[in-house]
Amino acid sequence: MSASPPTPVTCSSCGTTTPDPALTGMVEHDRVRGTSWVCGECLRGNVRAVEAKLDRAWW
């Protein structure tokens, strides 16, 4: 037990799970949902998707 193992995280966007969030992805802090993690692939493609969803939600 030389070091604490990385905590597996699940992408809040696509639902994929990775044992090491430090390799890729980004942790997001949301006041409502708390801390969530988004994988590297979703980081690029999901930004617009989220914005689109928000736009639709407003409409």
Residues that bind Zn ion (CB under 5 A): 11, 13-14, 39, 42
Q: Report the residue number, 49 or 54, with the smaller CB distance to Zn ion.
A: 49
Closest separation between CB of residue 57 and Zn ion, Å?
A: 20
Closest separation between CB of residue 14 and Zn ion, Å?
A: 3
For residue 56, the SS3 value is helix
Q: Report the residue number, 30 or 59, with the smaller CB distance to Zn ion.
A: 30
Cα–Cα distance, 37 to 1 (Å, whole number)? 26
